[in-house]
Amino acid sequence: MAKRAFDIIAALGGLIVLSPVLAVVAIAVRLDSPGPALHWSRRVGRGNALFAMPKFRTMRTGAPDVATHLLPDPERWITPLGRFLRRTSLDELPQLWSVLRGDMSLVGPRPALFNQDDLVALRTAAGVETLRPGLTGWAQINGRDSLPIADKARLDADYLARRGFLLDLKIIALTALAALSGRGVRH
């Protein structure tokens, strides 16, 4: 209950404080390439239920709906601004809306794409599907995109076993440092 209250307060505060940044990024995305500013990605949430998660669009319209690392030539699909948004994690800011709605938490396992069956299976076997997915998580700060699927699932299970308010605060702080450095982003 306290975690959900913290999520609501932080997400609402973040959306209010960051609204000028959100507006500027939305306009920049629209000017950078044709298409909408937001991409609504189908993701696996708590209890393995699907939900629509907003991100600033970093790929050209018509890009295949798979994890970027599975594309044969990801650079072909990523927009020029998209590279910057991904490196700085600014593309993730609209997910504060998902936190506010209750589909996500500030901290938890990153929501898998609807078609990442291998990751979903490993998480389910470890009981991780009981957690609300997070804007950031333990796996995010321990390797991000560079981690193999099995390692992500292992770190998510570790978070499940160790979770608590102090660990969440540590993850949030380390996420801010990682976002500023762009560490762990492949595409």
User: How many angstroms from the chain centroid is the CA of residue 172?
Assistant: 13
What's 130's DSSP letter? G
Residue spans of the domains in the chain: they are: 2-181
Q: Is the pLDDT of residue 63 over 90?
A: no
Mean pLDDT of all residues belonging to the chain: 91
Q: Is the pLDDT of residue 174 over 70?
A: yes
Question: What percent of the chain clears pLDDT 70, i.e. is strictly above it?
Answer: 96
Q: Is the pLDDT of residue 91 over 60?
A: yes
Q: What is the pLDDT of residue 182?
A: 59
**pLDDT (mean) for 7-24:** 97
Contacts of 94 (CB under 8 A, 6+ apart): 22, 38, 54, 55, 56
Q: What is the pLDDT of residue 67?
A: 75
Query: Which residue, chain included where needed, has tokens 């209950």?
Result: 1
Q: What does pTM read for this prediction?
A: 0.87
Residue 88: HSE in the Cβ half-sphere, 13 Å Cα cutoff:
12
Report the C-alpha gap between 106 and 95 in whole angstroms.
Answer: 9
Determine the longest span between alpha carbons in the chain, in angstroms.
44
**pLDDT (mean) for 151-170:** 96
**pLDDT (mean) for 146-150:** 88
Q: Looking at 86-90, 114-118, 177-181, which range is the least confident one?
A: 177-181
**pLDDT (mean) for 24-37:** 96
Q: What is the pLDDT of residue 12?
A: 97
Q: What is the pLDDT of residue 187?
A: 46
- Model confidence at 183, pLDDT cuts 50, 70, 90, reads low
Report the C-alpha gap between 14 and 12 in whole angstroms.
Answer: 5
